[in-house]
Amino acid sequence: MSNDKISDKRHLRSVATRQKLLEAAKEVFLEEGFQKATISQMIKKANIGYGTAYVHFEGKEDLLCVLMENVMAQFYEIAEISFFPKSKDEAEQIINKQTYSFLKMAEAERNMMQIFEQAIGVSSVISDKWKAIREKFIQRISMDIAYSQQNGLARATLNDEIVARGWFFTNEMYLWEIVRNEHHHSVEEIATTITSLYATGLYL
Amino acid sequence: MSNDKISDKRHLRSVATRQKLLEAAKEVFLEEGFQKATISQMIKKANIGYGTAYVHFEGKEDLLCVLMENVMAQFYEIAEISFFPKSKDEAEQIINKQTYSFLKMAEAERNMMQIFEQAIGVSSVISDKWKAIREKFIQRISMDIAYSQQNGLARATLNDEIVARGWFFTNEMYLWEIVRNEHHHSVEEIATTITSLYATGLYL
DNA sequence: CAATGAATATGACACGATGTCAATATTATT
DNA sequence: AATAATATTGACATCGTGTCATATTCATTG
């Protein structure tokens, strides 16, 4: 009766095993990568019964979704950065900051982002999660471009959505390069270079 | 003795079964997608013994590699388009043409490219094939940028490789959008818009 | 506090896909 | 005709998955 569920011993045990499994899953994912990782490995490492895993999660994908929740939330935060520039230079400055934050996520969360990238190629559930993030960014960027065009800062002849998608694509692909540690330049240099190219191309 | 292998009945039979399997594989891939497609299905459709498949190919991935050979060759051809502009306008024109050819491939080979994209996310062999194509393009674009910079046509302050990668990434992501039929604009409009943005940003 | 019921955990099982291999069949050569 | 080389075959072992009937643990009720 008191505290509803908190003091329910069964519920407490349930939460604990769920947590054990999540931690084991993270370890296995990081050791094996998404594809080679198996539920069986995670179950062994978590010291629970085989069937128990399926009580708490639907499978590998579901497990990873939960493990990536906080990272995905951070992306949504970055997408929300406000954008009301009064000049071309201010616009470039804001964009540069956003791009930098975006790419820095790749470094900060590299390990799990590597798993995430592998999973995107395999699991439609995970892929959809990332697509939602992508569309969120593109929608925001489109609005930013439209705002700049209405204020006479940006070339109005260009279709905002096409530009927004193209711009995000550059950012996204660099993100994955950095995640894979395959980038040959500093994140700062990449951010400033692509931002400069973009701002010069779009703004007047 | 005559014609070495052409008139070898055994060899002829071998080539025929290999071909039967390739054709069956293509059908199954297109019906089921890369992930759901199974070797067993292909074998059944080709009317050959189970083990026979593994004599000719190492597995699904290997099969798809062969099926994509001609498409991949076409990408390499597009990458080779010569680039010696004498003005900003001429540069934009050449770039637009190349981008258009590139994106048109997505439409022309949509069905198999869809399978290819799925496979890239799953198979490291296929993924490497695409990475090689990507690096080929980026290398060529880098050279083109350096050429323009040396001739005073393009902003020399920008790092050519960073710009080249960013530019190709935009192209590539649009390619996959078109492959998936998820683009909301005509290929022409996409090509001219992103080219205009790029050329304005890079050229003087 | 015993008994009943609900929530949780368990592992044996059936299924489907893969790749291998010893045996077989077909064709070439001697 | 015998032998060798090449190509084909399907049964088998293996592995990962997801389900489900059963068992266990805990809460509630009379």
Q: Are residues A131 and A190 in the same domain?
A: yes
Cα angle B57, B61, B62 (rounded to 5 degrees) comes to 30
Residues of A in contact with B166 (CB under 8 A): 170, 173-174, 193-194, 197
Q: What is the pLDDT of residues B124-161, one digit of tens each?
A: 999 999 999 999 999 999 999 999 999 999 999 999 99
Total domains present in chain B: 2
DSSP-derived secondary structure for A81-133 = -----SSHHHHHHHHHHHHHHHHHHHHHTHHHHHHHHHHHHH-HHHHHHHHHH
Q: Tell if the CB–CB gap between B197 and A193 is shorter than 8 Å.
A: no
Burial per residue of A102-141, b for 16 or more beta-carbon CB atoms within 10 angstroms, e otherwise: bbbbbeebeebbbbbbbbbbbbeebeebbeebbebbbebb
Q: Where are the beta strands (DSSP E) in chain B?
A: none
Q: Please report, for the domain that includes residue A134, its CATH number.
A: 1.10.357.10
d(CA B137, CA A156): 30
Does the C-beta of A54 come within 7 A of strand D?
Answer: yes
Q: Tell if the CB–CB gap between A202 and B199 is shorter than 8 Å.
A: no
Residues of B in contact with A174 (CB under 8 A): 165-166, 169
Report the pLDDT value the prediction gives residue B3, as an integer from 0 to 100.
47
A3 occurs within a structural domain: no
Tokens 């960073």 sit at which residue? B162
Report the pLDDT value the prediction gives residue A4, as an integer from 0 to 100.
54
Answer yes or no: is pLDDT of B4 > 70: no
Report the pLDDT value the prediction gives residue A2, as an integer from 0 to 100.
38
Q: Please report, for the domain that includes residue B45, its CATH number.
A: 1.10.10.60
Q: Look at the alpha carbons of B200, B201, B203, B204 in this order and tell me if their dihedral is positive or negative.
A: positive
Tens of pLDDT along chain A (204 residues) come to 334 555 689 999 999 999 999 999 999 999 999 999 999 999 999 999 999 999 999 999 999 999 999 999 999 999 999 999 999 999 999 999 999 999 999 999 999 999 999 999 999 999 999 999 999 999 999 999 999 999 999 999 999 999 999 999 999 999 999 999 999 999 999 999 999 999 999 999
Residues of A in contact with B155 (CB under 8 A): 200
ipTM of the complex: 0.94
Residue nearest to nucleotide C20 (CA to C1'): B51
Q: Which nucleotide is nearest to B16 (CA to C1')?
A: D7
Mean pLDDT over B93-108 rounds to 98
Cβ atoms of A96 and A192 closer than 8 Å: yes
Mean pLDDT over B15-25 rounds to 98
CB atoms within 10 A of CB B126: 23
Range of the domain at A26: 9-66
Tokens 């498949």 sit at which residue? B53
Angstroms from B20 CA to nearest CA on chain A: 29
A34 occurs within a structural domain: yes
